Amino acid sequence: MALTTRITDMLGVRHPIVQGGMMWVGRAELAAAVSNAGGLGILTALTQPTPDDLRREIDRCRALTDAPFGVNLTILPSVSPPPYAEYRRAIIESGITIVETAGHKPQEHVDEFKSHGVTVLHKCTAVRHALSAERMGVDIISIDGFECAGHPGEDDIPGLILIPAAADKVTIPMIASGGFGDGRGLAAALALGAEGINMGTRFCATVEAPIHDLVKAFIVANDERDTRLIFRKFHNTGRVARNSISERVVALSQPAEAVFEDIRALVSGAKGREALETGNLDAGLVWAGQVQGLIHDVPTCQALIDRIVADAEAIIRGRLAAFVTPREMAA
């Protein structure tokens, strides 16, 4: 039995599984491994220092896979923003046909991508944002529940509610994101109205993820309680793994007079990159979701995707079907 959905048809992939665009993690070796395994791998544009570096990373990914892959472009408000238009141009000129957008006011980027025939997935954390993105012209919604790593929004709506609530109103295909890591999650996402899943933290704990083995072991050892919510006071909530840095950030943010400058040095992207690349878990933040509690090994992307799909098929065909009593027997 194959799990064929609008997502597999639109993206040209074998399995309805998408790798989330993750800063410092979404590099060619991981994206290619996910795509070769039948999912959709995603490069993270802003992981690359310049648009030309992104062009080279796209070329490197193409050398590793003949399967479809995409690029993530996350737009964040900033006093000195990166040259988004130049990154966008690099994506288009490199012939990328699938883009995952996220963040602040993406209309300009969506319009430009669509004018060049690019399929656009947009990440949202609320139904109202999903409907806005649909009106904007995106092709696929990735709906991100409160369990997720990264920024879950300020509504605190978990996936069990958010996914079907969005499915009730969104007419374009939808991917469920936040808290997914095994076949049970994929089967549940399909039951809730999504047509695929997006996984970030789970793909960090794979052989091909370009991060230190100590970070992978850290994720495996953690459970569902080992995350912390930061930036709540500043209305930019983020979910990260529990370590000494996130504990300090939470503590320093609690006083009524606390300001962002009190934690700025602790939360810098450079420090987070150092933690991922050196395995020094006290160097910076490690972004991870509650799905850590469902991660028990570090497989290859091929083994992970094969297992997820096989388990989801077994659940749909076997366990769930067993609960259905034929009408003539129930009478």
Q: Quote the mean pLDDT of the chain.
A: 96
Alpha-carbon distance of 50 to 48, in angstroms, equals 6
Residue 162 corresponds to which tokens in the numbers above?
């958010």
pLDDT over 70, % of the chain:
98
Alpha-carbon distance of 273 to 64, in angstroms, equals 24
Say what the pLDDT of residue 329 is: 60
Band (pLDDT 50/70/90 cuts) for residue 254 is very high
Query: Any long-range contacts for 310-315 (C-beta under 8 Å, 24+ apart)?
Result: 310/183, 311/182, 311/183, 311/184, 311/186, 311/187, 312/3, 312/183, 312/184, 312/186, 312/187, 312/190, 313/1, 313/3, 313/183, 314/183, 315/183, 315/184, 315/187
CATH number of 6-210+299-322: 3.20.20.70
Would you kindly state where each structural domain of the chain is located, as residue ranges?
A: 6-210+299-322, 213-278
Band (pLDDT 50/70/90 cuts) for residue 258 is very high
Tokens 């599984």 locate to 17
Query: b/e string for 137-147 if b means 16 or more Cβ within 10 A?
Result: ebbbbbbbbbb
pLDDT tens per residue across span 58-116: 999 999 999 999 999 999 877 789 999 999 999 999 999 999 999 988 999 999 999 99
Q: How far is CA 184 from CA 20, 138, 241, 313, in A?
A: 19, 28, 23, 9
Segment 275-296 mean pLDDT: 98
